[in-house]
Structure 1
Amino acid sequence: MLYYLFRFLEQFGIPGAHVWGYISFRALLALILALVISAWFGEKFIKYLKSKQITETQRDAKIDPFGVKKIGVPSMGGIIIIVAILVPVLLLGRMRNIYIILMIITTLWLGFLGGLDDYIKIFRHNKEGLPGRFKIIGQISIGLIVGLVLWFSPDAKINENLAIEKQDGKEVVVKHRPEATKSLKTTIPFVKGHNLDYANIMSFCGKYKTAAGWILFVVMTIFVVTAVSNGANLNDGMDGMCAGNSAIIGVVLGIFAYVSSHIEYAAYLNIMYIPGSQELVVFLCAFIGALIGFLWYNAYPAQIFMGDTGSLTIGGIIAVCAIIIHKELMLPILCGIFFVESLSVIMQVWYAKMGTRKGVKQRMFKRAPLHDTFRTQQEQLDPEIKYLFKKPKGAVHESKITIRFWIVTIILAALTIITLKIR
């Protein structure tokens, strides 16, 4: 709203009104505003939840071997994150931008889905929360909406990158198609051409390969949104863990969104030029600011938990943003922590079921998701269960585990950026 107001005032020569046209100004202002809102609103929200006794009652207090009890800590802190994201975006973003609209819809949709889960856990005293099938349906639905909008919207177009080799053969010049078109290409790491075309994958469909490619794209969108959203949800098991990792991931996506919206940077990096994607930088800066402000209260020992309201929303935002800027195939690297957390749960369940068939109680890890295995003492293990991996033998302090996971995410973030030049 403020963007349109000051752009209107610029016509009358109002001093300083022109700066609202700069993406860097609006993005940094969104970051600061989101951080301030998250910190200020967070304090008020925590006091309100405590006054209404809207706190955790089901959490296992014995899981932390260092004696910090987490029963009585307010949950549904994801509301703080959502408010701190949406207010700056609505004030500073261009609301006519299709990508901003998609990000807002994703935030509200998954925020509602996660909020419903937290509501059942806290107010209905049902620790299972919303049945898993309804969560999956909600995630599939938003993935379907995003995929179809990107397919049919006339505003979701890109300028494909074309590598043109000079005559001397020593230097490669990258140009972009002069016209923006609908495209099924996406960036793939460690490949010389740097692009993967979904239509080419479906080339066996003959003259229908383009339509089949778009169907594959929509299916891929659904899969990525569901996978990353659940991965973030599993990563939300320690104070500050998910918020810190997601803020780091948000920085990388912000860089990708910015260079994708700048035709000279896109040409230098040999990636697709995506007109309008600069508005995602405003959204992602608000996203980063909201998470940093939330860490003020969520760092160990947490004064509030984000709950599914926050974790499902965070994962969905990351997934949809990556899909919009055609970087979804880089998420296994960038979101490597989420991927490993999900994989550890899958392996734990598979290994336990395999033991059940043999009549043996067995587990692959001490606990799952993976971060829980690092804070579990030997005394907490069931003596009747055979564990394939019992390391580490002792428990590691929760704050140390969190910071180490942040460090791993920083390394993965740097590697993801490097892939743009390694082919």
Structure 2
Amino acid sequence: MFLEFINFFTQFDTGFNVLQYLTLRAILAMLTSLFITLALGRFFINKLQQLQIAQIIREDGPQSHLSKAGTPTMGGILILFAFISSVLVWGNWYSVYLWVVVVTGLIFGAIGFADDYLKITKKSSNGLSAGQKYLAQSLSAIAIAVWLVNNPQPIPTDLLIPFFKDWTLPLGAIGLAVFSYFVIVGSSNAVNLTDGLDGLAIMPVILILGALAIFSYISGNYNFAQYLHMPFMPATSEMLVVCAALIGAGLGFLWFNTYPAEVFMGDVGSLALGAILAVIAIIIRQEILLFIMGGIFVAETLSVIIQVAWYKRTKTRIFLMAPLHHHFEKQGISEPKIIVRFWIVTLILVLVALASIKIR
């Protein structure tokens, strides 16, 4: 939207052209979403408290979590509001992929909102049933995957293999749509499972977004893409602004979500953030690197799958409790230590992914 005003004012002074630069718009998008989150955060938390929109704690969870009961939840609404507001101001409205990401956030945020709402109204840690949630996610992911494959700004259908210059896996349009479905649903659920401790999920999301922003900038710049032997995809360059806006919103939310948390993002935030990460990775063709960078998310998800499968088979447990962060809590490791260690692991994995830019 703002770009239209800039184009109008450039006829009077060409100096306004600087505001069209991609990197400057990304910086301003990050600052805008950060300011919105910080400015509205306290008011938003107070409003949640007034409406008694509070976290429902699992009865079978760690005893240390009982003190978290009553903490406001559904803070993901604030993240999405700041993110989308910033993107609509600084983003290029002619970018199809900008709208794909925005719609993805709204749809999966709505699924999470329904889940959170049912938990609050029923005063239970159970919201939507597993089947209901999976069906809603699946239908949404299918629609988004088809949209990604069939649009006026097509992306390559080959799967990029990191660390190898010329290795790709041809998927074709149908293959890409099917693959995208699994990436979106898997990522959405993985972030949701990880969001169990104060700030545990949001910081890895921010770190991964930072790396995705770098990859989107490279792939959207012809000179950098050619020099680094990466596919040139000019339509994806707008993802830099999108990533920056979400980083700003995430940092603003972390201000209130850091231990001890004043607000939780809830499923409305975690489901949306996971899906957005997946869609951005698909657009810039870095799904495998998302898997690597999101190693913490992957480990959390696998811990649940393994625990459930093993218990059904043997009636015994491998982990003291799943997801994985609860296992470490049961071992007596303090919550802040678990959180920071997970952050450090994510940072290491992100650096490994960034190394693939030159190691190929």
Quote the residue 2:46 is aligned against. Answer: 47
Contact kept? 1:266, 1:272, Cα under 8 Å: yes
Quote the residue 2:74 is aligned against. Answer: 76
Does the residue aligned with 2:32 lie in a helix, a strand or coil?
helix
**2:351 is aligned with 1:353:** no
Quote the residue 1:143 is aligned against. Answer: 141
CA distance in 2, matches of 1:194, 1:271: 11
Quote the residue 2:130 is aligned against. Answer: 132
2:285 maps to a residue whose letter is H
Choose the corresponding residue for 2:350, options 385, 408, 413: 413
Quote the residue 1:274 is aligned against. Answer: 233
1:319 maps to a residue whose letter is A
Contact kept? 1:341, 1:369, Cα under 8 Å: yes
- Of Structure 1 and Structure 2, the greater helix share is in 2
Quote the residue 1:322 is aligned against. Answer: 281
CA distance in 1, matches of 2:325, 2:190: 12
After superposition, the CA RMSD in angstroms is: 1.6
Q: TM-score, length-normalised on structure 2?
A: 0.96
- CA distance change for structure 1 residues 36 and 59 in 2, over 3 Å: closer, same or farther? farther
Alpha-carbon offset, residue 256 of structure 1: 0.6
Quote the residue 2:10 is aligned against. Answer: 10
**2:62 is aligned with 1:63:** yes
Over residues 216-274 of structure 1, what are the superposed CA-to-partner deviations in whole Å (9 max), with x where a residue is unaligned?
Answer: 11110000000011000011000000001100000000001100100111112211111
Contact kept? 1:68, 1:301, Cα under 8 Å: no
CA distance in 1, matches of 2:193, 2:61: 19
Does the residue aligned with 2:235 lie in a helix, a strand or coil?
coil
CA distance in 1, matches of 2:61, 2:237: 46
Does the residue aligned with 2:184 lie in a helix, a strand or coil?
helix
2:11 maps to a residue whose letter is Q
CA distance in 1, matches of 2:44, 2:59: 24
Contact kept? 1:143, 1:218, Cα under 8 Å: no
Alpha-carbon offset, residue 410 of structure 1: 0.4
1:366 maps to a residue whose letter is L
After TM superposition, the structure 1 = structure 2 runs for residues 297-308 of structure 1, keeping only pairs within 5 Å, are 297-308=256-267
Does the residue aligned with 1:69 lie in a helix, a strand or coil?
helix
2:327 maps to a residue whose letter is T
Q: TM-score, length-normalised on structure 1?
A: 0.82
CA distance in 2, matches of 1:84, 1:142: 23
Over residues 365-400 of structure 1, what are the superposed CA-to-partner deviations in whole Å (9 max), with x where a residue is unaligned?
Answer: 111111111111xxxxxxxxxxxxxxxxx4111111
Quote the residue 2:114 is aligned against. Answer: 116
CA distance in 2, matches of 1:229, 1:421: 29
Quote the residue 2:208 is aligned against. Answer: 249
Alpha-carbon offset, residue 68 of structure 1: 7.2
Quote the residue 1:368 is aligned against. Answer: 322
Alpha-carbon offset, residue 58 of structure 1: 3.7
CA distance in 1, matches of 2:140, 2:228: 31
2:205 maps to a residue whose letter is S
CA distance in 2, matches of 1:289, 1:70: 26
Contact kept? 2:192, 2:267, Cα under 8 Å: yes
Over residues 309-341 of structure 1, what are the superposed CA-to-partner deviations in whole Å (9 max), with x where a residue is unaligned?
Answer: 000001001000000011112222111111111
CA distance in 2, matches of 1:24, 1:190: 26
* Deviates further, 227-236 or 412-421: 412-421
CA distance in 2, matches of 1:33, 1:83: 12
Q: Between Structure 1 and Structure 2, whose CA radius of gyration is higher?
A: 1
After TM superposition, the structure 1 = structure 2 runs for residues 216-231 of structure 1, keeping only pairs within 5 Å, are 216-231=175-190
Contact kept? 1:139, 1:222, Cα under 8 Å: no
Does the residue aligned with 1:365 lie in a helix, a strand or coil?
coil
Quote the residue 2:334 is aligned against. Answer: 397
Q: Which runs of 5+ in 2 are unaligned?
A: none
Quote the residue 1:32 is aligned against. Answer: 31
Does the residue aligned with 1:375 lie in a helix, a strand or coil?
helix
Q: Which runs of 5+ in 1 are unaligned?
A: 158-182, 199-212, 357-361, 377-393
